[in-house]
Amino acid sequence: DTEVTQTPKHLVMGMTNKKSLKCEQHMGHRAMYWYKQKAKKPPELMFVYSYEKLSINESVPSRFSPECPNSSLLNLHLHALQPEDSALYLCASSDRGNQPQHFGDGTRLSIL
């Protein structure tokens, strides 16, 4: 079992839908991350939250909107996505920037 929990595991949505991905960790980690992973490729960083504040946005389109309600939760709000956004979305957390990251199992997103 992973210590980082992501829901839902699978999501199919149309291009006009609004949905949210959720990530939760109870390890007391102060840094949380969103990654996008395409098939057979390594994860690509999207966002970094440090102490509940957005510290890095890797030029991600505004149709992806992250939110960190508290130190244990990280959301990714989705709106008007494109078919090329279909991918596995991974959440991770770490104690500090130079510590190992713990990954969730991901949400597999399909855009119709």
Partner 1 sequence: ILNVEQSPQSLHVQEGDSTNFTCSFPSSNFYALHWYRWETAKSPEALFVMTLNGDEKKKGRISATLNTKEGYSYLYIKGSQPEDSATYLCAGGGSQGNLIFGKGTKLSVKP
Q: Which residues contact 89 (CB under 8 A, 6 or more apart)?
A: 6, 21, 34, 35, 36, 37, 76, 106, 107, 108, 109
What distances in angstroms separate CA 60 from CA 11, 48, 72, one per listed residue? Answer: 20, 12, 23
Residue 55: CB minimum distance to partner 1, A: 5
Residue 97: CB minimum distance to partner 1, A: 4
Q: Which residues lie near partner 1 (CB under 8 A)?
A: 2, 31, 33, 41-45, 48, 50, 55-56, 58, 90, 94, 96-106
Q: Which is nearer to partner 1, 78 or 93 (CB)?
A: 93
Residue 81: CB minimum distance to partner 1, A: 22
Q: What is the CA radius of gyration of the chain?
A: 13
